[in-house]
Chains A and B, each alone.
Chain A
Amino acid sequence: MENLIKEIMDELFAIDPSLKKYQKELEAATAKMIANKPDDRFDENFRQELKMKLLARAEELEKGEKVKFSFWRSLKFWRGFSLAAVVAALALIVVIPAIQNGQFSLFNFKSGSPLSLISGTMNIEEAGERAFGDLASSSQALTNLELGDSSDAYYSAPTPAAAPKTQSSTSREEILAREVSGLGGGSGTNAAAPDVKMLPPEYATKYNYVYIGEDFSFTEESVAVLKRLKSYGSENLSSVLNNLSFGLFDASKLRNVKVQSMSIAEDRDGGYVVDFNPYEGTISFYENWQKIMPVNYETQPRLRESDVPTDEKLIETANDFLSRFGIDRGNYGTPIVGQSWKLGYANVRDEDIWIPDTMTVQYPLLLGGKEAWEQGGYDRAGFSVNVNIRTMKVTGLYGLTTQNYQSSNYAAETDKNRLLKFALQGDLWPQPTYPEENFKVKEVEIKLGTPSVQYMRYWKYEGNQSSELFLPALVFPVIDKSQADEYFTKKVVVVPLVREILDSAERENTITPPAILEYRKDMGSSSSQILTPTQEPLPPEKVQN
């Protein structure tokens, strides 16, 4: 350091001799600056590895090969991740050598061509008419209900394991029995057995939808339904496994091996785990729980509403995270901060409001510039990023999917009155009818505006396979819900334009009133004992007595 300081002093005095009178102080300032020079930790291994890669690339250039950039783009994404077998050790053993060699064609070993794991590219290929078969099936209704309507989360891609337990045996009545169990305006789910009976509610809500928009029409004879192609293109890995020994078993006996899922983890404080599911074409991030500091919530100050960052700040944090990992937002619309945590706090004092640690930023999917809504009209399809508002750190990313689609034409419904009829139901199926002898019914008017053509996400199950379809749909905005309580969270009413979907819904529109529990005086006073299921529901007045 002394030599450098002397060199600097000589330079300074040569430039400005008048500085010599401050020599000691200048030496001190220079020394402090040099002493506080951050260590750049130049890594010799990095130098050598990069040199080898450059020379390999130079060799390619000499042979006249075209520029490949995928590796360099991928480099940032993979930086800092150490591999840890979480789900598929088999897959990782195959993948590790590929990563170490800088070959990121994880699921395409034969060709060796690089693969962008989080592709921002949307590809839509044409298929023949009705290429996805019969779209209407009774199982579809169940799946939409089972998925529920979480107003904040884009838990969009169920795994095959989440497929319904039945494809056609589940009756419409069973489905409705589940649907009405909440009676709060949402389609809350119930994972219990189908013959669920309910506590008599204070009142049932009947929503009267009123159309106040402009005149509209839809004249196209057919509409293009999109089906998301899930696979990354996982190649057969049998040839690779032939040369591997697992010790515990003979891997070469496996046939037609493909990577179905894998996880990688950052081995550092605050690191992330990334789950890949090539089978479903999904990627999710979450914090590496082994590397996060445990939080003692008893010592954490309670969050106040004033602690909630602005939407702009939350979106900025989420955007930074996406940029850091090179996740393209090109196929997604303007991000929205989820507000579902406010549900139930409309008339609550500020000090009684519980503020969650995590807020959700939602990125709505755009298909050709159009949004894709979930069937219930509560949410848009897309992916979400969770931000911890205490640390302003992203804690997870969910619902990011590959964007490869097939397109196939299906006959469209052009009858305006029929389309409007579905809109005024509020859904594909009419609301349950509540017998007045059993229920106090509260009627609420919901006003709908002029529709636009967008998409409805639709799940179709065949065997153990699920298909994610996007149906062109009329989307009617809810423009006045002032009569409804805060639990009415439907933002739009979605009416698919595919005629066979509407036909199917009309065939299966039998409404079964929900069964309720009966009051038995001989069961004692405990609320858990006074009610027992019966076939004959009692009026609410009797229960209250």
Chain B
Amino acid sequence: MDPNQEKQIIKACQAGNFEGFGELYEVYVKKIYSFVFYKTYHKETAEDIVSIVFMKALENIGSYKPGRGSFSAWLYGIARHAVVDHFRAVRPSVNIEDVWDLADEQNLEIDLDAREKLNEVKKYLAKFKPTHREIIMMRLWQGLSYREISEIIGFSEANCKMIFSREMAKLREEMGIVAFLLFMFLNI
């Protein structure tokens, strides 16, 4: 969506005309869903949270201030808080800073496919700082640009790029020859 068009729709919504909210929704729903899913790894939970995110966005769009950041960053901020609220509700007694670890708790529901694949990479990613891990997953799994990642994380774009490159270099060392051979001979 053209940035100017987005601004106009937001302005209209803030004035009480929600006709264009559906277009905003279409632009962001998949991205927000993906963002939430890769923190919960559970389809139904992600859908619940995404529903809450967009309902809150709709009802609170008047509080969005363009001067403080992009609409995208504002939306991701709501999503981040909704995820934290979710984990706070299901795991009130643990640290909620790192949802990676929470999502893998034994008693929480995680899609089977997600659990298996997470097990494949967790031994490598678990050593990284939560934010660094999040940057890698946003770039490789969610396909977000560094600009988008920087808005969500709150780091500068250059910093996000630097962190990504450093952590990928570490990942190369961690995975070592096994990943290389798999890549060369099995094409995965």
Contact = CB atoms under 8 A, between A and B. Distances in A.
Interface string B1-31: 0000000000000001111011001100110
A369 interface: no
Contact of B44 (A26, A40, A80): A80
A33 B164 CA distance: 13
Interface stretch (A12-20, A360-368, A460-468): A12-20
B107 interface: yes
A27 B183 CA distance: 8
B107 A392 contact: yes
A54 B55 contact: yes
Given A50-B54, A62-B16, A72-B55, A30 B118 contact: no
A349 interface: no
Contacts of B126: none
Interface string B41-54: 10111111011101
Interface stretch (A41-49, A472-480, A514-522): A41-49
A79 B45 CA distance: 8
A29 B179 contact: yes
A253 to B, nearest CB: 40
A55 B22 contact: yes
Interface in A131-146: none
A8 B118 contact: no
A187 interface: no
Interface in B168-188: 168-169, 171-172, 174-176, 179-184, 188
A352 interface: no
A67 B111 contact: no
Interface residues of B, number: 66
Contacts of B91: 320, 323
A25 interface: yes
Contact of B50 (A24, A34, A36, A50): A50
Contacts of A80: 44
Interface residues of A, number: 55
A400 to B, nearest CB: 18
B96 interface: no
Contacts of A58: 18-19, 21-22, 58
Given A16-B165, A33-B140, A76-B48, A28 B180 contact: yes
B90 A46 contact: no
Residue of A24, A40, A57 with most chain B CB atoms under a 10 A cut-off? A40
Given A15-B165, A61-B58, A42 B89 contact: no
A146 B180 CA distance: 72
Contacts of B25: 50-51, 54
B139 interface: yes
A31 interface: yes
A212 interface: no
A22 B169 contact: yes
A392 B106 contact: yes
A320 B105 CA distance: 11
Contacts of A61: 16, 18, 58-59
A29 B136 CA distance: 12
Dominant SS among interface residues on chain A: helix
B161 interface: yes
B33 interface: yes
A32 interface: yes
A32 B182 contact: yes
A324 B179 CA distance: 38
Given A62-B18, A317-B107, A34 B117 contact: no
Interface in B130-157: 136, 139-141, 143, 146
B188 A31 contact: yes
A319 interface: yes
Contacts of B164: 11-12, 15
Interface string A55-82: 1011101100001000010011001100
B115 to A, nearest CB: 8
B37 interface: yes
Given A8-B140, A33-B140, A38-B38, A24 B180 contact: yes
B89 A41 contact: no
A292 interface: no
Contacts of A54: 21-22, 25, 54-55, 58
A11 B106 contact: no
Nearest to A2: B187
A47 B29 contact: yes
Contacts of A323: 89-92
Contacts of B17: 62
B75 interface: no
Contact of B179 (A28, A37, A59): A28
B182 to A, nearest CB: 7
A32 B38 contact: no
Contacts of A28: 172, 175, 179-184
Interface in A100-148: none
Which 6 pairs from chain A and chain B are nearest by CB?
A: A58-B18, A28-B183, A38-B114, A40-B37, A28-B180, A28-B179
Interface of A: 4, 8, 11-12, 15-16, 19, 22, 24-43, 46-47, 50-51, 53-55, 57-59, 61-62, 67, 72, 75-76, 79-80, 316-317, 319-320, 323-324, 326, 392-393
16 contacts: A8-B139, A12-B168, A26-B169, A28-B172, A32-B182, A37-B140, A37-B141, A38-B41, A38-B113, A39-B113, A40-B33, A51-B25, A54-B25, A54-B58, A58-B58, A324-B90
